[in-house]
Amino acid sequence: MEGHLNLTLKIWRQKNANVAGKFETYQVSGISTDMSFLEMIDVLNNRLIEEGDDPVAFDHDCREGICGMCSMYINGRPHGPNRGVTTCQLHMRSFQDGETITVEPWRASAFPVIKDLVVNRSAFDRIIAAGGFVSVNTGNAQDANNLPIPKEDADEAFAAAACIGCGACVAACKNASAMLFTSAKISQLALLPQGKVEAANRAQAMVAQMDEEGFGACSNTGACEAECPKGISIENIARMNREYFSATFSSK
Amino acid sequence: MAITGLFLISFLLVHCSLNALIFLNDGGVAFNEGAEFMGTNPVIRTMEIVLFAGLLLHIYDGLRLWFENKSKRPVAYAVVDGAANSKWYSRSMGLLGTLLLLFLILHLKHFWYFSRLTEGLEDHTLYAEMQAVFMNPVVVIVYVLGCISLGYHLLHGFSSAFQSIGWNHPKYMPTIKTIGAIFSIVIPAVFAAMPIAFYFHLIQ
């Protein structure tokens, strides 16, 4: 059932990280309810280009909810009003005709704005890199059944590994904390025998890097879990805390 | 935050149980005996110092967290729909804690100062002092508001403390949350009932 919407958009425009940004207001009309939110911005950008204006810069890549690029804080929530979706999976049918939609970038000192709605999330890459390696035997691949893994552990590790590193957890958190992201990355390895060898060092190194990047501390509001497009559980944060405490007590 | 919080929760349980002796309605005999024990026993008096240390550490940690976390988002969002993803009291622990601190200053002035630092107990008992203090309706209202702040502070704090120390397990977390919710309602309700009961002469 297709309809068409006329909308007012308040979009954050900022040239680069060094200058202050401000909201610009745009009117868009005839937006199909079947469009994704990104396609609606595409329509706006087409017009801006035709008019000789600077199009709105925003991150996007796969447009099917698996790359984690489309970082938009829409009407006070990361990825807009629906749960369990990224911005590219958000459809215009979730909005009312005549509505004013406010679009902001992720706001955190660890995620500086590159331009408009594009933020630099390389802090996440450095947290991953701080985790280091997993010890894997060289030579021929061993028989898969040599490494028995309980089904529950495999499922939990996989659920943690579903994290696409989009940063919605940081964007949603009142403290701009990256605990959900970091804990998911720690858990996906800590739950499996391959990751257990360096688990203690990994927890300490990744938490230290997370703090150094300037993310806030967790106060357990649970906003990250609610806004995560992949439904990563805050049980991972508790696991990270356990890993971190035991590593702190036992490290040399 | 979590360790000091759990310690303060254990104190609340002791404080609330002992004070609930006033509901025996025996003219404060049992309560005064309890107060006398708590005021003279050397172990309890030592724990009192630990309690103050725990409280100060909790306040210091809270303030440090609040200021540090505040600095992590230098440009604020224009629109925030907080209710969509979290409870208001979980986002307002600093505010609730500040209200509790203001209440606590008044509360310590009323009873701790009276029983520990003045000669008050010589001429009349702590029970009599409670009766006198709770004749003022403004005080009763402030105490009830203090208890409501405590309830919401605990509603987040109780289960949050377990999450922070890593005790989030599918088998135990539902029980922890249930106990936390019951604790957060019952303890403040019993506390709030004390000034109300005195004010309306429900206990003599």
DSSP annotation string for A202-214? HHHHHHHHHHHTT
Q: Which residues of B73-100 are buried (b: 16+ CB within 10 A; e: fewer)?
A: beeebeebebeebbeebbbbbbebbbbb
Q: Which of B55, B6, B86 is nearest to A218 (CA)?
A: B86
Longest dimension (CA), chain A: 64
Q: Which helix (H) or strand (E) holds A31?
A: strand A22-32
Q: Provide the pLDDT confidence category of residue B156 given band limits of 50, 70 and 90.
A: very high
Mean pLDDT, chain B, as a whole number?
A: 93
Dihedral angle over CA of B71, B75, B79, B80, nearest 10: -20
Q: Where is average pLDDT lowest: A139-143, B59-63, B176-180? A: A139-143
Domain-embedded: residue B164: yes
What pLDDT shows up at residue A138? 84
**Cβ <8 Å between B85 and A77:** yes
Dihedral angle over CA of B81, B87, B90, B96, nearest 10: 90
Q: Which residues pair with A13 in a beta bridge?
A: A22
Give percent above pLDDT 70 in chain B.
Answer: 98
Output the tens digit of pLDDT for each of chain A's 252 residues: 568 999 999 999 999 989 999 999 999 999 999 999 999 999 999 999 999 999 999 999 999 999 999 999 999 999 999 999 999 999 999 999 999 999 999 999 999 999 999 999 999 999 999 999 998 888 888 887 888 899 999 999 999 999 999 999 999 999 999 999 999 999 999 999 989 989 999 999 999 999 999 999 999 999 999 999 999 999 999 999 999 999 999 877
For residue B200, how far is the Cα from the chain centroid?
23
| Other beta carbons less than 10 A from residue B31's beta carbon | 22
Distance from first CA to last CA of chain B, Å, rounded? 40
Q: Provide the pLDDT confidence category of residue B122 given band limits of 50, 70 and 90.
A: low
Residue-number span of the structural domain to which B125 is assigned: 2-199
Which residues in chain B have their CB less than 8 angstroms from residue A77's CB? Answer: 81, 84-85
Q: Tell me how close the Cα of A71 comes to any Cα of chain B, in angstroms.
A: 14
**Nearest-angstrom CA–CA distance, A19 and A54:** 16
What pLDDT shows up at residue A2? 66
Scan residues 188-227 of A and list those with Cβ closer than 8 Å to B: 214-223, 226-227
Which 3 state secondary structure label does DSSP give A216? strand
**Cβ <8 Å between A76 and B80:** yes
Which residues in chain A have their CB less than 8 angstroms from residue B80's CB? Answer: 76
Domains of chain A, first to last: 4-114 (3.10.20.30), 122-250 (1.10.1060.10)
Count of the separate structural domains present in chain B: 1
**Nearest-angstrom CA–CA distance, B146 and A67:** 48
**Cβ <8 Å between B86 and A238:** no
Q: Provide the pLDDT confidence category of residue B39 given band limits of 50, 70 and 90.
A: confident
Domain-embedded: residue B204: no
> For A177, which DSSP code?
B
What pLDDT shows up at residue B3? 95
Q: Which residues pair with A102 in a beta bridge?
A: A10
Unique residue bearing structure tokens 């630990």 = B50
A127 burial level (CB within 10 Å; 0-12, 13-18, 19+): buried
Domain-embedded: residue B126: yes
| Other beta carbons less than 10 A from residue A2's beta carbon | 8
Which residues in chain A have their CB less than 8 angstroms from residue B86's CB? Answer: 174, 221-223, 226
Q: Which residues pair with A4 in a beta bridge?
A: A32
Instruction: Name A226's Cβ contacts closer than 8 Å, sequence gap at least 6.
Output: A83, A172, B84, B85, B86
